């Protein structure tokens, strides 16, 4: 029972990581389900480390396996070379190291244990991923955030990455109008907005008119990572550090 509680505590964050890695909720959640099925069959698959490290390490063993059915995991017809091959090309090991450290907050030794590499390799991989992020094509960004200081922080991070902040909005209606006016290539959205409206509603309306990647920002990620309904693929937890935003933005743009 103690192990079950420990695993349940970390599942929302494993879902976040899996979705960021895979680019879709459906594919990411399928890997998480595969992890849970493996644990139910034999708890020893978690290994001797902490439940959190063991859970992520198991995820990576499944992610790296060659005998998984691409169609069942990704929920789509496998294209030439397979969906899994395409995903691994989009998110190679060095990008995974950066996601684990910057988004999930693992230290270097734990990241090394999860990926099965040395600590020096983790540092080299993360540095390579940072260089890759800095060379990504730039885009126009819409920021939906009602807290002025947070909005300014986000604007600063986005501009430092070389992207253009084309508009900011504090309510659902402002956000929809701004998206129509500017045609952004990326949207950063808070969940709760100034007038009591919902960032989720704003994004839903924007997506009905534009095809654009979304990064949600919230203080309550576990509420949006249950796997029970359509939920954000890319999600940053408040309070955030700049590197977390950078890696989430970069990963979202990979799948744009």
> DSSP characters for 189-222?
EESB-TTS-BHHHHHHHHHHH----EEEEES-GG
What kind of architecture, by CATH, is found in domain 2-133?
Answer: Up-down Bundle (1.20)
Domain 138-254 class in CATH: alpha beta
In the chain, what are the domain boundaries? 2-133, 138-254
Q: What pLDDT, on a 0 to 100 scale, did the predictor assign at position 65?
A: 78
* The pLDDT value given to residue 229: 58
Cβ atoms of 112 and 118 closer than 8 Å: yes
Q: pTM to 2 decimals?
A: 0.83
Q: Name the CA dihedral angle for 160, 162, 164, 170, rounded to a multiple of 10 degrees.
A: -30
Q: Mean pLDDT of all residues in the chain?
A: 86
Mean pLDDT computed over 126-148: 91
Q: Do domains 2-133 and 138-254 have the same CATH topology?
A: no
Instruction: Say what the pLDDT of residue 81 is.
Output: 42
pLDDT tens profile 200-253: 899 999 999 999 999 999 887 766 776 665 677 899 999 999 999 999 999 999
Mean pLDDT of 63-87: 48
Residue 23: the pLDDT is 85
Query: In this predicted model, what pLDDT tens digit does every residue of 93-120 receive, in sequence order?
Result: 888 999 999 999 999 999 999 999 999 9
Q: What is the pLDDT of residue 88?
A: 53
Which pLDDT band holds residue 73 (cuts at 50, 70, 90)? very low
What pLDDT is attached to residue 114? 96
């Amino acid at each position: 029972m103690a192990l079950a509680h420990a695993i349940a505590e970390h599942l929302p964050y494993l879902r976040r990581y899996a979705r960021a890695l895979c680019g879709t909720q459906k594919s990411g959640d399928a890997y998480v389900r595969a992890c849970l099925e493996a644990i139910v069959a034999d708890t020893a698959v978690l290994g001797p480390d902490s439940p959190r490290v063991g859970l992520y390490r198991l995820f990576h063993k499944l992610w790296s396996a060659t005998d998984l059915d691409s169609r069942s995991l990704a929920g789509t017809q496998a294209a030439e070379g397979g969906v899994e091959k395409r995903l691994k090309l989009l998110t190679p090991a060095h990008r995974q190291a950066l996601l684990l450290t910057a988004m999930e907050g693992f230290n270097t030794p734990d990241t090394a244990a999860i990926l099965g590499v040395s600590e020096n390799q983790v540092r080299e991989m993360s540095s390579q991923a940072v260089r890759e992020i800095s060379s990504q094509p730039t885009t126009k960004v819409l920021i939906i955030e009602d807290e002025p200081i947070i909005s300014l922080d986000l604007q600063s991070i986005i501009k430092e990455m070389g992207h253009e902040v084309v508009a900011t909005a504090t309510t659902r209606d402002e956000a929809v109008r701004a998206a129509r006016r500017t045609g952004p290539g990326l949207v950063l959205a808070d969940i709760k907005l100034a007038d009591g409206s919902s960032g989720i509603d704003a994004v839903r309306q924007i997506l009905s008119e534009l095809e654009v990647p979304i990064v949600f920002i919230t203080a309550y990620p576990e509420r949006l990572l249950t796997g029970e309904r359509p939920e954000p693929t890319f999600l940053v937890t408040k309070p955030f550090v700049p590197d977390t935003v950078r890696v989430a933005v970069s990963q979202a743009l990979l799948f744009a």
